[in-house]
């Protein structure tokens, strides 16, 4: 071929996947579907109702990640509708829920208890384990004031862990309260107002680094700031010495005994009304957990939990895996939090101009399912199909009739409908992981017989056979049965 012809040759489209989006194979999909089904069974048992909101919402309804320029595409995937209104893919299930409740407020029961699972999208830089599309599974009670609703969410979170196969002692639900930290900060001179929001956020970020930096590093960040090992300086929250001491005392106030933690917190809150209100809420939560048998082994008060405190307005909690998990190289892997939630009373109010209390729980399906797989808790229930091989294409109706009989008996089965000789058909069966293959030609059909090949057993027996002649003569793991008895024979072999 000439260079000219090569140059003019049509270019094929390159098969490529957008960054941050993943293809999921059958085993991953089945594991995630099973996890969602387990969670849904808990939500149903608690009296929640399913809801499905659309993938797209109007950008101003989502109300988050939106920049101050003409195209609202930072943080979300957005496009302009034909009526020139901006729409964006949902980035979570909570903002669409708030819109749904506001639209249907008068017709909905209060509280409105719903659950939902589905893809959400974030227009962020992808990285290892960080995708632009992922599945979240949520349950929320909207119009549910009081800490009793939060206690129910905490119990629900624990029950989801157990329904997924995680045993008591392999997980813990860690509980905190936004009001407690507000009380500490008020006592330290940080106002609970818009003016103090930036300072409060710096305090939250500092506390969140406690595991990594220790008390000394966090104390620096709560004060004037800190220079790291590279020489970079991070500005601090500028609390005074008393404020730093109070915040550090708060973050280490937890005990393995919930009652002891409550006593410590009550003393720490002093005269702060907001702080004491937080203690009262935790006392109610503790009473409900105790009455329902959720001991400290399942749920603990942990004042170091700060993730999301800037968003939540009251009790907040995280579901954490404690089990020893090994990576591919046998090294310990810390999964940590796989889900969380809490009280958010301000989200629906921006649509209605009135306070609408709400509380919820959410987990990332892929992250949780991956952790369950590492723990050996993912059971592949779907067995590979029985493969009916095609000796004679004129017998296709009979092959499909046999296949229908197997399916009627609850056995996964398929007729080989590809192209290829018997060797290729058996290779296909092997790739599919099939245990049995059904073989029937015109001679067998006339005799009313069917040959069933145990591929799994045959593979083991073949290891002991030294040459092709011995293989042909022995026909390992192959048996013949009557056509009218083949379904029962296959049932017995699969058992």
| Domain C-terminal end among 374, 405, 429 | 374
How would residue 331 be classed by pLDDT, with cut points 50, 70 and 90? confident
Same domain, 301 and 450: no
Q: Is residue 121 part of a domain?
A: yes
Domain that holds residue 403: 386-494
3-state secondary structure the chain: CCHHHHHHCCCCCCCCCCCCCCCCCHHHHHHHHHHHHHHHHHHHHCCCEECCCCCEEEHHHHCCCCCCCCCCCCECCEEECCCCCEEEECCCCHHHHHHHHHHCCCCCCCCEEEEEEEEEECECCCECCECCEEEEEEEEEECCCCHHHHHHHHHHHHHHHHHCCCCCCCEEEEEEEHHHHHHHHHHCCCCCCHHHHHHHHHHHHHHCCHHHHHHHHHHHHHCCEEECCCCCEEECCCCCHHHHHHHHHHHCCCCCCHHHHHHHHHHHHCCCHHHHHHHHHHHHHHHHHHHCCCCCCCEEECCCCCCCCCCCCCEEEEEEECCCEECCCCCEECCEEEEEEEECCCCCHHHHCCCCCEEEEEEEHHHHHHHHHHCCCCCCCCCCCEEECCCCHHHHHHHHHHHHHHHHCCCCEEECCCCCCHHHHHHHHHHCCCCEEEECCHHHHHHCEEEEEEHHHHHHHHCCCCCHHHHHHHCCCEEEEEHHHHHHHHHHHHC
Minimum mean pLDDT among 56-70, 109-123, 224-238, 261-275: which range?
56-70
pLDDT tops 50 at residue 461: no
Domain count, the chain: 2
pLDDT tops 60 at residue 462: no
CA dihedral 97, 98, 99, 102 (to 10 degrees): 120
405 CB contacts (<8 Å, ≥6 apart)?
487
Q: How does 376-404 read in b/e, with b if 16+ C-beta sit within 10 Å? A: ebbeeeeebbbbbbbbeeebeebbeebbe
Same domain, 413 and 356: no
Out of 181-195, 234-248, 301-315, 453-467, give the one with best mean pLDDT: 234-248
Same domain, 341 and 407: no
Residue 301 CA to residue 259 CA, distance in Å, equals: 9
User: Dihedral sign, CA of 76, 80, 86, 87?
Assistant: negative
Q: What is the pLDDT of residue 469?
A: 47
For 451-477, what is the mean pLDDT? 58
Residue 180 CB neighbours (<10 A): 28
Residue 262 phi, psi (nearest 5): -60, -40
Residue 486 CA to residue 301 CA, distance in Å, equals: 60
Same domain, 275 and 421: no
Minimum mean pLDDT among 227-231, 318-322, 474-478, 479-483: which range?
474-478
Same domain, 73 and 195: yes
How would residue 246 be classed by pLDDT, with cut points 50, 70 and 90? confident
Write the pLDDT tens digit of every residue in 190-200: 766 666 777 87
Same domain, 176 and 290: yes
Same domain, 43 and 181: yes
How would residue 470 be classed by pLDDT, with cut points 50, 70 and 90? very low
Q: Is residue 240 part of a domain?
A: yes
Same domain, 405 and 443: yes
Q: Are 460 and 476 in contact (CB under 8 A)?
A: no
What is the share, in percent, of the chain residues with pLDDT greater than 90?
56
432 bridge partner residues: none
Q: Is residue 400 part of a domain?
A: yes
Out of 14-18, 139-143, 187-191, give the one with best mean pLDDT: 139-143
The CATH number of the domain holding residue 31 is: 3.30.930.10
Q: Is residue 20 part of a domain?
A: no
Q: What is the pLDDT of residue 5?
A: 60
The CATH number of the domain holding residue 411 is: 3.40.50.800
Q: Is residue 6 part of a domain?
A: no
Q: Is residue 16 part of a domain?
A: no
Widest distance between CA atoms in the chain: 95
Same domain, 342 and 421: no
| Domain C-terminal end among 374, 398, 418 | 374
Same domain, 303 and 401: no
Write the pLDDT tens digit of every residue in 138-163: 999 999 999 999 999 999 999 999 99
Q: Is residue 8 part of a domain?
A: no
For 349-353, what is the mean pLDDT? 86
| Domain C-terminal end among 374, 403, 422 | 374
Q: Is residue 381 part of a domain?
A: no
Same domain, 399 and 271: no
Residue 435 CA to residue 48 CA, distance in Å, equals: 41
Residue 153 CA to residue 316 CA, distance in Å, equals: 10
Residue 70 CA to residue 73 CA, distance in Å, equals: 9
299 bridge partner residues: 173
pLDDT, averaged across the chain = 87
Same domain, 365 and 395: no
pLDDT tops 90 at residue 418: yes
């Amino acid at each position: 071929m000439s260079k000219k012809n090569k140059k003019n040759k049509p270019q094929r489209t390159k098969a490529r996947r957008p960054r941050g989006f993943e293809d999921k194979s059958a085993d991953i999909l089945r594991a995630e579907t099973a996890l969602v089904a387990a969670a849904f069974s808990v939500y149903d048992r608690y009296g929640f109702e399913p809801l499905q909101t659309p993938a797209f919402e109007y950008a101003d309804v989502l109300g988050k990640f939106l920049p101050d320029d003409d195209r609202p595409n930072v943080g979300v995937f957005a496009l302009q509708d034909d009526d020139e209104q901006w729409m964006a893919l949902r980035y979570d299930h909570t903002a669409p829920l708030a819109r749904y409740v506001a639209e249907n407020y008068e017709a909905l029961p209060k509280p409105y208890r719903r659950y939902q699972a589905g893809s959400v999208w974030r227009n962020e830089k992808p990285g290892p384990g960080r995708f632009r599309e992922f599945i979240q599974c949520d349950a929320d009670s909207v119009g549910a004031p009081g800490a009793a609703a939060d206690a129910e969410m905490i119990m629900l979170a624990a029950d989801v862990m157990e329904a997924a196969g995680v045993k008591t002692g392999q997980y813990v639900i860690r509980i905190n309260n936004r009001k407690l930290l507000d009380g500490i900060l008020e006592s330290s001179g940080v106002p609970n107002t818009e003016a103090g929001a930036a300072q409060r956020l710096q305090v939250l970020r500092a506390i969140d680094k406690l595991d990594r930096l220790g008390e000394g590093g966090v104390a620096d960040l709560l004060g004037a700031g800190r220079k790291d090992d590279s020489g970079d300086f991070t500005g601090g929250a500028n609390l005074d010495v008393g404020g730093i001491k109070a915040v550090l005392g708060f973050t280490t106030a937890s005990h393995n005994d919930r009652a002891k933690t409550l006593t410590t917190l009550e003393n720490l809150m002093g005269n702060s009304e907001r702080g004491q209100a937080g203690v009262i809420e935790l006392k109610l939560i503790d009473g409900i957990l105790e009455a329902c048998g959720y001991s400290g082994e399942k749920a603990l008060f942990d004042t170091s939990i700060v993730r999301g405190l800037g968003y939540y307005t009251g009790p907040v909690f995280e579901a954490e895996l404690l089990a020893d998990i090994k990576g591919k190289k046998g090294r310990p892997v810390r999964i940590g939090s796989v889900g969380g939630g809490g009280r958010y009373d301000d989200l629906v109010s921006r649509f209605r101009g009135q306070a609408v209390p709400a509380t919820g729980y959410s987990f990332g399906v892929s992250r949780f399912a991956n952790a369950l797989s590492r723990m050996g808790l993912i059971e592949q229930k779907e067995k590979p199909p029985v493969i009916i091989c095609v000796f004679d294409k004129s017998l296709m109706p009979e092959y499909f009739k046999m296949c229908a009989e197997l399916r009627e008996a609850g056995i996964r089965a398929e007729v080989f409908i590809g192209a290829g000789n018997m060797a290729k058909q058996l290779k296909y069966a092997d790739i599919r992981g099939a245990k049995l293959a059904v073989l029937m030609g015109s001679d067998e059909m006339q005799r009313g017989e069917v040959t069933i090949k145990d591929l799994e057993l045959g593979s083991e027996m073949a290891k002991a056979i030294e040459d092709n002649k011995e293989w042909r003569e022995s026909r390992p793991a192959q048996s013949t049965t009557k056509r009218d008895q083949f379904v029962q024979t296959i049932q017995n072999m699969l058992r």
